[in-house]
Each structure stands twice: as C-alpha cells, then as structure tokens.
Amino acid sequence: MANFLKQLFKPKWQHKSEDVRNNAVAQLSDQSPEQKDILLQVLTTDSSATVKRTAINQFSSLEYLIELSHSNVKEVQTLAQERLSQELSADNKQNWPKDPQQITELVVTLPNLPSITELVAQVQDQQLLARITEQARVAGVRQQAASAITDEKILETLEKAIKGKDKGCQKIIREKLNVLHQEREKQQQATAEIMQAIEAAELQAKLPFQPLCEAKLDTLHTRWNKIKVNATPEQHTQFENAINQCKQIIADHYQAESEKQAQAEAHKDAKEEQEATVTLLETEQDGIIEQGDFNSPALNALLKTQANRWQDSCETTKPSKSLENRYSRVCKSLEQFIQAKEALEEQKTVLEALLAEETPDLGKLKTLLGTLNWPSELQEPELLTQAHNALGDAQKEQRRVRSNLKQDCKQADELLSKAEDMIAQGTLKGIYQNLRQAQELMHSWPNERKVNKRLRQLQYKFKEMKDWQDYAVLPKLEELCERMESLVEAELPLETLANQLKQAREDWRGLGYGDNNYGQALWHRFKDASEKVNERCKPYFESIAQLRENNLEARKAIITQLTEFVEKVNWEKADWKVIDKLYKQSIEEWKQATPVDRSEVKKIQDSFDQPLHLLKDRIKAERDANTEIKQELLEEAKQLLSEENLKQATGKAKALQKKWQQVGICHRRQEQHLWKEFRAVCDQLFGKRSEQWQEQQDQRSSNMQEATNVIEQIKQLASSDASEAKELAAQLRDLQGAYGNLGSLPKDHYESLEQNYREACNQVKVRMSELKRAQKAQQGEALIEKLKIYQATSANELSQEDASQQWQAIGIKDDKLGNVLESAWKNLLSGKSSLQPTSEEKLRELCIRSEIIADKPSPEADQSLRMSLQVERLSRGMNSGDNTKETTTSLLAEWLSLDVPTQNFEEYLNRLLVALEYK
C-alpha cells in the first residue's frame, strides 16, 4: 500500500510514462528557481532523449544555455549546443545577445554555431577580437576577427602570441601591421616635410635678398601646397609669417632697386646731356672748319648756353675724364676761333697796309701774324695767305707740318680700324689701348676733322659698351665685395671660410672688373678684404699642407702593403672575398688619402696601378669562372621544372640554392641577372609545390569535413531505433569503411577527430552490446521454453502433434542455437536418439565446463572440481593432439542429450544459461 501511495503522489515529470513526463516537462520554465532545478534534474537523470530535448527547450536564458553547453554530461552538452545553434540562427537575429563579452564567449566555445561569422561581426572591442583570434577553434572565424583589429599595439602583442600557431592569422596581422607602419611612416614623413618647409621658409626669411629669392619663394609655395593639407593651424600660421617676411625682403629690395634705378637713370641722363653738349660743340666745330667761316656773336652765344647745360649735368654726375677733356678741348678750340677772327678784324687794316708796301717789313709782318695765331683747322683768309706767302720760311714750316700730319693720320686710322673690329666682335679688351694711342697721335692735329670725328665716334661706342659693362657687372662686384667683407668677421669653420674665399675669388675673375675709378676702387676694396680673410685662413692652409704630406705618406704605405700582398699571396688557396674586399678597400683608401701635392701624384700613381691591375685581372678571372658555375646551376634548376615528383624536385632545388650560396665572387651585373633568373625558376618550382600542397590541404580540409559528417552519423547510430545488433553492426562497418577511405587529415585536427571517432564507435558498440544482451536474454527465455517442451516430449507428457505445434511457435533467431535445437528435436521425434540418464554431478560438471570456456567464475564450492577439469582438459589436449575446442553449441547439444527435467534442475539450467550469456 505504501508503494502504491508513493507512486500515486509522485510528480508527473517522474511518471513511468514517457508521454506524461514529456508533457509535464513542457509546462516547466527556467524563470522559476524550483522548476529550473527540476529541468536540470530531468536533463541528468531521465532516460528518454525526447524528454531531455523538451527540457532543454524550456531554457530561455542564453547565459544558462552557454553554461549547459560546457556540461560534463556529454548528452546535456550536445543538447545545449544544438539549442544554441537554433537560437542563434540567421532567422532569430532578434534573440542574439547584445553583450560583446557574451558573443565572444559563444564564438570561442561553440565553433559549430551557424551564424558564427555574423556574430563575430557584432564585436567591435579590440581586446575581445584579439581573444577570438587567439582562442576560436575555426580558422575562418579567427581570420575574420584578426581582419577587424585595427589597434597597432594589440596587433603586435597578438602576433607574438600566435607566432607559429596560426599562419593564416599571422599573415593577416603582419599585413595589417605593415599597412599601419607604412601609414605611420607616411605621417611622419609628411610631418618632417612640413617642418622642413617651415624651416626653409624661416631660414630664407633671415637671409638678405638674393637673385634667386623669388624663385625660391615660388618653390616653397609649390612645396607647401602639396603638403599643407596635413599641417596644423599653428604650422600654417608659422609658414605664412615666414613667407610674409620673405615677401617684405623682396619688396624692400625692389624699392631699393627702384631708387637705385632712378639714380642710375638720372646719372645716365646727365651723362647723355654731357655727351650731347660735347657732340653739339664738336659738330659746330666741324661745320665751321668745313665752311671756313662763322658768325662770332652766334658762336659766342652757343658757347654760353652749352656751358650752362654742361654745368647743370655736372651737378648730378661728374663727367668722365675723357669727356671732360673733350669738352675742354672743343670749347678752347671754338674760343680760339672767335679770338682769332676778332683779332683779324682788329688788325686787318694794319695787315693790309703792310702788304700794300712794295717792300713789306718782314719783321713786323711776322710779329703781326704771330699775334693773330690763326687756328690751323680753319681755312686761312686770303689776306693771311698773302702774308704767309710773303714769308717763305713760314711756308716751308707749313709743308713740314703737313707731312707729319699725313703720317700720324695714317697710323691713327690703322689703330681705329683695329678698335672698330673689336667693337663689332664685342671684345672690350684692347679697345682702350688702341683708342688711347690714336688719341695721342691726333692730339697734335686737332684740326684734322675726318680722323678726329672717327676717333670721337669710336670713343662714344666704346663708352657705351663700357657703361653697359659697368652697369651689368658693377652691382655684382659690389655684391662680391660685401660678401668678402662679411667673411672677415664671419664665425665659420676655417675650412668653410677658405672654400668661400676661393669661390669668391673665382667669381671675381669670372666677372672681370671695370678699369674706371669706381671699378678700381671696388678691386682694392675686394683685395683688402680677401687678404684679411686669407690671413684668418692661414692655420687651415697650413693644416691642408700637412694633410697633403700625410696623405702622400698614406698612399706610399698603401702601395707597399699592396705590393707585398700581391707577391706573397697563394692564388690557389686564395680567399677571393677577402681579395675583392682588399681591392675595393685599397681604391677607397687611395681616394680618401687626398688631397696630395700635384707634383707627387704622377710619381706614385704608376706604382699603385701596377699591383692593383694585377689584382683586378686575377679577380676578373675568378669572377668569370664562378659566373660560369652559376650558369650551370641555373641550367640544372631549369631541368627540375620537368620533374613529376615535386617534393623531390624542391629538395634538389634547395640543394642547388645552398651550392649557389657557396659559389665565390662573380661579376655583379651578370650575377644579378643570373640570380634573378635562378630565383624565378625556384619560385616557379616552389609555386608548383605550394599549389600541390594547397590542393592537399584543401583535400585534407574536405576530408576533415567529411570525417566530421561520418562521426556525426556514427553518433546518431548510437541513439537510433535499431532493434538488431547485426543491423547496427552492418551500418557501423559501412561508416567505418567510409571513414577509413577518407585519406589524410589535417595534422592539427587528426588527434581530436580520431578521439571523436573512437568515442562515437564505442558508443555504437555499447549500444550493440546492449542489443545483444537483450536479444540473448530473449533467446534464453525461448530456450527455456523449448527445453521444457523437449523434456516433456521425451517423457511422453505431450503428444508429438501438440509438442511440434508448441515447438514451432517458439522462434530462435540465433542460427547456431537453432540448428542444435532442431537437430536434437528431429532426432528425438524420429527416435534416432534417446536421452541418457543424468545426475546432479553430471550437470554440475557441465556447468563448470561452460564457465571455463566463457571465462566466468564458478562458485567457491566448485573450485577444486573446476581445477581438476582444467588440468584434465589440458592433459587430454597435449597427449592426444586433439585440438577440438568446446563451444556454446556443443555444451548445449550435450545438455540436450541428457534426460534433464527442467523443473527439477532449474538451478543448473539457469547457471548454464548465465555462463552461455543467455540470461
């Protein structure tokens, strides 16, 4: 009664009926702590898979499902993972967790989630992504997480953590780090370029104006426009301030240049006024000489107006010495013209009176002509000619003068022709000397109009060329003077100071300098400053002299060492890399030992070249030989491309690479070309091997997926509804055969797959054992019933017709057992066999023998008998050579040959059935 009540009030989830339990569990919820505990109990204790699946479906909390997915109970763990897969499918996105930590935990612990990649996409936290990359079981998920990480420090830490563990993720991380490093380098480079541009602008702002200042400013602007997008507002301001300072310097310069230009134009205008004044007076002079007469008052007025003009221009600019001399000379000549004509007018009456006398007074006539001092340039009036004719000696003197004039004019013409050719060629040098010599010749003949006019024209052209030279060169000479003067007190290293002194002197010689007063003054100014700078540089020049001497000694030492090495070296055992290094080092040291006195260079160069060229020839021969060896290695590598065994071919290629590295020095360009071709061949070969390896990897991955599917099918067999162990065994054999034919599996998954495979097979075998035990138990019950019929028929307790009917109604599925029973039954019915009398001892012995062959224990009381039977059995086998073994069927057949009433010897029958595993 107590048991009945206990069953009556037992909870429905503990009911015997599976349907009742299932319906009861479906009403529970994990929201209630008590119901939650019941659900957990059902999961761990209930025998029905259906009820357990219903229980797992009642859990609504993802957190708890995740916890259950890590359960130690394999079945609970599987159910929880299946449920999570449903909850986290693409159709149930609304149920997906929002917490990145929770998502990370799911991704790391449940690799088979259907939407795992989409879940990973929800994680943004860099540390969590790093955890997924390091701990996730699926390679694709790890790579997806690695691709989403952008934090450089986390990437660097992660690279170290997975080094050698996950090459795919490691490659992704390295590529991302390379991109980040390149971006940082670009940013640093951009920052450096911005600072360099600002520094260049600020430096330019500190310098005085230079001819290329505007071009540099444009360059700075162009440079800034390319990089200003990366500049900060402060850097923009800093750059603009420096540029504005540069612009102000340029503006100030052009203002000063404008003022200087105005002064130069005023100077030029004044020069032109002075030249025009002299030219006008000289033209007037030429006209008077040509016409032979002039108006004295008009000429006098012209002289006064041009004197005022000359004076005004001289207040602005001082005339050149030559122009001043011309002005003075032409004014003096014209004044002489006026004075001579006025004197002739005053003495005309007296002169006519003297000439009218029959015998003129030659003394008075000579004195009077002397006071008149008629200019030689002017044509003599008739009155004066008559007077000179009266004086014969005067005519002789005049003829002598005219002879000298002709000779001087010819020589002056030749000098002026030379000067004219030089002016046409634009050559200034030599023009001044020719013009000066011609001017000295014509100084005594101011009235020779044609030659003097040509002289003045060439002087004017030369002046224009000289003025242009002065205008172009003098500012540069002034700049050189300022540059040299700045070096006098400049705080510079002596070497820099000496170089700048040398450069400035070369620049001066390249320009030349004016031979006018200002040019001479600039030259003396430049020379004085350069001498002061030269004095400052004396210690440096002395050190250079000492350096030249030291370098000479160093070069001699190089020659000695090189010569000794060439004489002593064993070329057969030479280390060519050392020799090549010595060759290059000798040249480099020779170049470094400079400067050397030019007078010594030629003397020692030949001594250096002789051993050096010997080394060069030897090295070339060695390079030629080694280059030929590498050419042969290249040909061997090319032949490997046609080999079918790529693994063996790549091994040979690696050996060739080692040989390549062991080959000595070669010609650099040829070696680079050969190496490029050799590497291309090796890359092609390794590429083929890599493709083959990748194909194998892909096949292994495919095999792994197929293996996973087979293992899953085997696991499903363990929980299948199969009722026959044979059927289950046949299905297991098929799946085992499929697993065995899969081929190679990935090494990193092989052990886990094998373990899962063995576990799945063991589960099926356990299921098969259970089925076999249940089937044997059924067979045992059927066997007992058949034995009862057998004994009853033998004792004539049943008619053969009833016995046969009952016998056939009982089925035996075990063929061997069925055959034994059918054989004994037929013999019994046909009367061919009769049952032998039996005893309890006989049955006891039969049970012990069955326990022996089944390797099962016997009762304590039967141990001595069991031992004697084993010894007898062993002795019989050894002596007679009988190898016939007792079996389950032979023992059962022996039992059937005995007259054993089942109801009387049930104890022994049960013992026999237990030993034979039929009970």
The answer, yes or no, to whether residue 750 has pLDDT greater than 80, is no
Q: What is the pLDDT of residues 624-639, one digit of tens each?
A: 888 888 888 888 888 8
Average pLDDT, integer, range 371-388 = 74
Report the pLDDT value the prediction gives residue 904, as an integer from 0 to 100: 60
Identify which has the larger pLDDT, 547 or 41: 547
Reply yes or no on whether the pLDDT at 883 is more than 80: no
**Residues 327/271, Cβ–Cβ less than 8 Å:** no
pLDDT in tens, 838-848: 777 888 888 88
What pLDDT, on a 0 to 100 scale, did the predictor assign at position 44? 75
Q: Is the pLDDT of residue 460 over 80?
A: no
- Using the 8-state DSSP alphabet, how is residue 320 labeled? P
* pLDDT in the model for residue 394: 45
- Helices within 228-378 (DSSP H only): 233-291, 296-316, 321-356, 362-372
| Residue 448 exposed, middle or buried by CB count within 10 Å (0-12, 13-18, 19+) | buried
The three-class DSSP label of residue 898 is strand
Which whole number is the average pLDDT over 406-425? 74
Q: Tell me the C-alpha distance between 894 and 649, whole Å.
A: 71
Is 517 a residue whose pLDDT tops 80? no
Indicate the average pLDDT of the chain.
77
Q: What are phi and psi of 528, to 5 degrees?
A: -60, -45
Write out the two tokens for 244: 């504005």
Confidence band (pLDDT; 50, 70, 90) for 599?
Answer: confident
* Segment 277-328, tens digit of pLDDT: 888 887 877 777 777 777 888 878 888 888 888 888 888 888 888 788 888 8
Q: What is the mean pLDDT of residues 27-38?
A: 76
- 39 burial type by CB count under 10 A (0-12 exposed, 13-18 middle, 19+ buried): buried
Other Cβ atoms within 10 Å of 412 Cβ, number? 24
The residue that leads in pLDDT, 833 or 759, is 759
Helix (H, G, I), strand (E, B) or coil at 901: coil
Please tell me the predicted confidence (pLDDT) of residue 446. 65
User: Which range has highest mean pLDDT (583-587, 594-598, 816-820)?
Assistant: 583-587
**Of all residues in the chain, what percent carry a pLDDT higher than 90?**
0
Q: Which DSSP symbol is given to 108? A: H
SS (H, E, C) 45-94: HCCCHHHHHHHHHCCCCHHHHHHHCCCCCHHHHHHHHHHHHHHCCHHHHH
Would you say residue 333 has pLDDT above 70? yes
Identify the burial level of 568 via C-beta atoms within 10 angstroms of its C-beta, where 0-12 means exposed, 13-18 middle and 19 or more buried: exposed
Res. 96 pLDDT band, cuts 50 70 90: low
Looking at residues 43-51, what average pLDDT do you find? 77
pLDDT band at 60 (very low <50, low <70, confident <90, very high): low
Position 1 pLDDT exceeds 50: no
Neighbours of 706 (CB within 10 A): 16
Q: Which range, 105-119, 147-161, 373-387, is most confident? A: 147-161
| Burial class of 458 by CB neighbour count within 10 A (0 to 12, 13 to 18, 19+) | buried
Task: Specify the amino acid at residue 169.
Answer: C
Instruction: Say if residues 373 and 384 touch (Cβ distance below 8 Å).
Output: no
- Render 530-574 in DSSP notation, one character per residue: HHHHHHHTHHHHHHHHHHHHHHHHHHHHHHHHHHHHHHH--GGG-
**Distance of alpha carbon 237 from alpha carbon 360, whole angstroms:** 103
* pLDDT, tens digit, 9 for 90 and up, residues 422-441: 767 656 566 667 777 777 77
Let me know: does 889 contact 918? Beta carbons within 8 Å: no
- Position 705 scores a pLDDT of 81
Q: In this model, does residue 239 exceed pLDDT 80?
A: yes
Residue 456 pLDDT exceeds 60: yes
Residue with tokens 């007025």: 301
Token digits of residue 122: 């929800």
More confidently predicted of 247 and 374 = 247
pLDDT tens, 79-90?
Answer: 777 766 666 665
Bond preceding residue 595 cis, omega within 30 of 0: yes
CB 641 within 8 A of CB 681: yes
Q: What is the pLDDT of residue 771?
A: 75
898 beta partners: 836
Residues in the chain: 919
Q: Which pLDDT belongs to residue 9?
A: 47
pLDDT band at residue 5 using 50, 70 and 90 as cut-offs: very low
Per-residue confidence (pLDDT) for residue 8, from 0 to 100: 39
pTM of the model: 0.31
Spatial neighbors of 358 by CB under 8 A, at least 6 apart, are none
| 3-class DSSP state of 191 | helix
Residues 6+ apart with CB under 8 A from 74: none
pLDDT of residue 773: 75
- For 841, other C-beta atoms within 10 Å of its C-beta total 9
- Residues facing residue 836 across a β-bridge: 898
The answer to whether residues 49 and 78 touch, using CB atoms and an 8 Å cutoff, is: no
pLDDT > 70: percent of the chain:
84
Most confident of 115-119, 379-383, 657-661: 657-661
- Count of CB atoms situated within 10 Å of the CB of 513: 21
Question: How many C-alpha atoms does 267 have within 13 Å on its Cβ side?
Answer: 12
CA–CA gap between residue 298 and residue 169 (Å, rounded)? 112
Residue 515 has pLDDT above 70, yes or no: no
Output the pLDDT for position 419. Answer: 72
DSSP H helices, 663-746, are: 668-718, 725-740
For residue 6, pLDDT over 60 is answered with no
State mean pLDDT over 257-271.
78
Label residues 203-219 b or e (16+ Cβ within 10 Å = b).
Answer: ebbeeebeeebeeebee
pLDDT single digits (tens) 133-164:
777 877 777 787 888 888 888 888 877 787 77
